[in-house]
Structure 1
Amino acid sequence: MQIEQPPVDRQADKPQGERRGLILINTGDGKGKSTSAFGLALRAHGRGKPVKIYQFLKVPSARFGEHRAFETLGVPIEGLGDGFTWKSRDMEHSAELARQGWQQARADILSGDHFLVVLDEVTYPLIYGWLPLAEVVETLQQRPAHVHVMLTGRRCPEELVAIADTVTEMHLVKHAYQAGVPAQRGIED
């Protein structure tokens, strides 16, 4: 490791543009896409801003750690799906749940009632062809100026990347699962 001196002077000028709602994307094969989005939701909630979280693959009855924490804090989080696709017994039903969930999320984005709307795992129903990409892009472009939207999931469509303000690609370097360690409650759920 190379030791560095801490910076003592501000390296960049402060932007002078207008504050506005952002489109943020966490994508890539690495861990942390949803976790980062939940941290953003906590940050906004901590500032007293209204937040809504939609999870496109989780079932409505899911009780993972994030559900328990957000419930305690009063942050609405809603599962829209029927679980992981490889466990689905009816793909058309899974697709219909995604379409219905998108209509709910779309209404919340366009209403302007929330400072931040998180669309967790939304890339999957998009790349499976269950949601109309053009409508998602149009909704994001037409949202009220103050609404921030965070999208997560692997293989984010380029059309979304093109209109996003901030895109982070999580890169897998190493994962415990590859060494035979199963998922850990409180870390991966």
Structure 2
Amino acid sequence: MDAAERGRLLYKLADLMERDRVYLASLETLDNGKPYSIAYNADLGLSIACIRYYAGWADKNHGKTIPIGGNFFCYTRHEPVGVVGQIIPWNFPLLMQAWKLGPALAMGNTVVMKPAEQTPLTALHVASLIAEAGFPPGVVNIVPGFGPTAGHAVSVHPGIDKVAFTGSTEIGRRIMMSAAESNLKRFIFLREVGCDTEVMIKREQKKGIC
């Protein structure tokens, strides 16, 4: 598949996400617990824009011919990494999926994606939209499951060439070690420095304190 066709399919995917925006926002709210207005306006808006952005890059990312001294021909050539494993966090399920899926597909890679076990619903619906858009079977593979099983399998499988992970430092270190011990995969780690803290605000508490 050439680069222009990859871009066309990504544009189609973005259009289908726009068509199902209400349903996807409802799934994100059901899955994640965030307010529907935020899911619809922020998460969906940014996710669709992200896919469209990388669709436009699909046929514009290419090598260069570099003039140098001597009887030499110097050039750069961009090639797909191959199979990219992607492990998605629970806090922005759809948006993080778009951030990882868009560039990987635009550059001609295939994807094995594990959504967070707490929030897999939007990823599963996007998988159906990917099929509807016309992506060939096997280009995008959504694998729901738990971190110690499905996530570990993505990290160690020798058929995966790169792993992209967003999450805690502790889990990032484990994935990095697994990736290195298997087939020395490339590894991109986006560290989240937040924490899973529950906060209770009493009705009588002053606004200034909140």
Q: Give TM-score scaled by structure 2 length.
A: 0.31
Structure with the larger helix share: 2
Radius of gyration: which is bigger? 2
